[in-house]
Amino acid sequence: MIDFGRSLKKARQAKRITLRKLGEHVDLSVGYLSDIEHNRKNPPKLDLVQKIEEFLGILDGSLVGLASVIKRKMPKDLSSNIMLKPNLSGALLRVDEDIDADQVDEFMNFVKQLERKRRQ
């Protein structure tokens, strides 16, 4: 399981940097960063993740790598359908806060099954 939030928190705490100080540097709220660290929110845009890495002194690109994998999990056709179907996007937004990586995988498998059925 990919755990961007835990990796971010571990790196931040290893450098003894507070959420407030990190938030000020990357212009994100403490609450939003906390949600990311507790996997209630997905990682921010990759340019912000890179800025976080620079601030934390992470040289291996590990956070950018994790964030990239997470962001690639959502197929482009699904994201366009979400934008075009308000009921679907509303439902996804309601569960976004409570869904973990395993549930995302389960959801994506369900979507793939629906696609296969549609093609038959």
- In tens, the pLDDT along 12-45 reads 999 999 999 999 999 999 999 999 999 899 899 8
Give Cα 77 to chain centroid, integer Å. 18
pLDDT in tens, 76-102: 555 566 666 666 666 666 665 566 777
- Written as six digits, the tokens of 93 are 């937004």
> 3-state class of 63 per DSSP?
helix
Burial of residue 52, with CB atoms counted within 10 A of its CB: 0-12 exposed, 13-18 middle, 19 or more buried: buried
Q: Which domains does the chain have, with CATH numbers?
A: 4-71 (1.10.260.40), 74-119 (no CATH)
- Written as six digits, the tokens of 119 are 């093609």
Q: So what's the pLDDT on residue 113?
A: 84
